[in-house]
Structure 1
């Protein structure tokens, strides 16, 4: 493994792959991603979550207009109310400068916000946000092919929290965000357990390939957006 920030290392197999969109933040940061705490307040999180749970029109998430194999991803797509979308935009603008400074980029266009609900048994297997895996005849990953170069940065804002033993609709167990190629000095895979109101921000290239582990109990809700940027 090779060091990419003060406390995080990456798998050496990444060094042998041609990754056209490879980019890493300043290696002197403690971590190569950001966790911005309290972007939404507890009451705002509860209101957005309640709206999603009451959404009778939720549908299975798609990929570029096509249904996804539920062996790859089992996620429901919800919608934000007009009020909640305006709130999201205000809160994102409040942290935009901090994000741009950390990653040394200038954000430009962004996708619409995807409101992704994970109920018990829902998950998303390993993937890169800007690329598809290339596999050999034995099914081993041997590289990545860029399919969405406009995705430079990923933001994930959570409205529910991880807890080992959820007792209400504002919490869930399982559902950890795991970065498949990143680890600490001891070799432990970097795994984040979300807190409601927090935003996780990372580059969209294969160094930050990730998965959502199966939700065991409760409801995991996140607001996801992909951003283009000048770098």
Structure 2
């Protein structure tokens, strides 16, 4: 496998350059990392409140997977998680904080955000996972080998993931083990996949295109809760 350096500390699988990607942009190559981490998006105490509120709810749906023409279907061999709705109180708090961070995100990616999806509250408990996927495209496989991508969500340019719980090996109600976010085509200088270890209150922001194909490893124990949005944008 050949790797190409795309930021100071991150390399990508060179195969992606051979595919005709409908939206294959990358951030500034002089950044340390090709994604943005906002460490203090929300206070941990507020994240705890969100978790407690969600745990009281019983109104959820099983998460689905993208299909061509935006048709969705449930496939628990690919994705096993639940989607909850965010209460109006926390929606307003989230929206206010997002607007405060919007310019930071736009400057980092040299884009102007336009429309956004509703916030999805994703719950992963023991045994939950989400296999490798791109947020704007479906993988095209031939004999189990990746041969390309087909864009099925043109209005997804940027992905934001806010974590309400932390990846720690203990038994607190707001922590979990396993469940790391792995970028399947991004590597460090030693050739290891980039693996993000979530912390409550942090938001990670990355482009929704195939360079940032990712998966959620199976949760071994605890409670993993994240708030996810996808954003359309104009390229500056």
After TM superposition, the score normalised by the length of structure 2 is 0.95
Equivalent pair of 2:157/2:209 in contact (CA under 8 Å): yes
- Alpha-carbon offset, residue 59 of structure 1: 2.0
Q: What is the SS of the residue equivalent to 2:199?
A: coil
Question: Are 1:167 and 2:171 an aligned pair?
Answer: yes
User: Paired residue for 1:204?
Assistant: 208
Q: What is the alpha-carbon root mean square deviation over aligned residues? A: 0.9
Q: What is the SS of the residue equivalent to 1:173?
A: strand
In the alignment, the residues of structure 2 paired with residue 60 and residue 51 of structure 1 have an alpha-carbon distance, to the nearest angstrom, of: 19
User: Paired residue for 1:140?
Assistant: 145
Q: Which moved more, 1:189-198 or 1:58-67?
A: 58-67
- The alpha-carbon distance between structure 1 residues 81 and 65, as it changes in their structure 2 partners (threshold 3 A), is farther
- Alpha-carbon offset, residue 66 of structure 1: 3.4
Q: Which runs of 5+ in 2 are unaligned?
A: none
Corresponding residue to 2:194 among 186, 190, 193: 190
- The alpha-carbon distance between structure 1 residues 16 and 66, as it changes in their structure 2 partners (threshold 3 A), is closer
Corresponding residue to 1:78 among 69, 76, 84: 84
Question: Are 1:109 and 2:111 an aligned pair?
Answer: no
Q: What is the SS of the residue equivalent to 1:148?
A: coil
Equivalent pair of 2:64/2:75 in contact (CA under 8 Å): no
Question: Are 1:39 and 2:57 an aligned pair?
Answer: no
Q: What is the SS of the residue equivalent to 1:50?
A: helix
User: Paired residue for 1:2?
Assistant: 4
In the alignment, the residues of structure 2 paired with residue 189 and residue 110 of structure 1 have an alpha-carbon distance, to the nearest angstrom, of: 29
In the alignment, the residues of structure 1 paired with residue 181 and residue 72 of structure 2 have an alpha-carbon distance, to the nearest angstrom, of: 24
Question: Are 1:48 and 2:50 an aligned pair?
Answer: yes
Deviations 1:151-209 (A, max 9, x none): 0000000000001x221210000000000000011101000010000000000000000
Aligned residues: 229
Q: Which runs of 5+ in 1 are unaligned?
A: none
Question: Are 1:176 and 2:170 an aligned pair?
Answer: no
- Alpha-carbon offset, residue 33 of structure 1: 0.1
Question: Are 1:92 and 2:98 an aligned pair?
Answer: yes
